[in-house]
Amino acid sequence: MSIEVLLVEDSPGDVRLTREAFREANSRVRLHVAYDGFEAMAFLRHEGVHVDAPRPDFILLDLNLPKMDGREVLAHIKKDESLKTIPTIILSISQSEKDIVKSYQAHANCYLSKPVQLDEFESVVRSINDFWLTKAKLTQRRLDG
């Protein structure tokens, strides 16, 4: 059974690195990419070209995105009854205490700093895989009522 992961990231280089790191860490991961906040919300709400998009098992969300930034995306996800149970992991270059606090206040499930070194980046993706896909119990479907 595949594991559906939505990566919301505008950097093609980081998308490529994440894809490669997950390919090595867990072949069951199907990585879907949204390059901005509007596309992420369209994917999650099954709008437009994303009408057949799967429900992600979890979301990796960058904060600094074009059109709608990650903070707004997180707020939309956590206010939406059908989306708020999807674990949302902030993966950002920002190490600002303000960003970390605001992310947790907005109900992010985890905040990880995105490393710039390739081996450290791969290590972070392996740790995401080890925790979120091995140890944590994830919901497969939203609960109605």
51-78 residue pLDDT tens: 999 999 999 999 999 999 999 999 999 9
Query: How far is the CA of 25 from the CAs of 19, 38, 119, in angstroms?
Result: 10, 29, 13
Q: Which strands make up the sheet holding 29-34, listed edge to edge?
A: 29-34, 3-8, 58-61, 88-92, 110-113
Q: What is the mean pLDDT of the chain?
A: 91
Mean pLDDT across 3-31:
93
Q: Return the domain boundaries, the chain.
A: 3-135
**Residue 145 pLDDT > 90, yes or no?**
no
Give the CATH architecture of domain 3-135.
3-Layer(aba) Sandwich (3.40)
Cβ atoms of residues 60 and 6 within 8 Å: yes
Hey, what are 142's tokens? Answer: 């939203």
103-123 residue pLDDT tens: 999 999 999 999 888 889 889
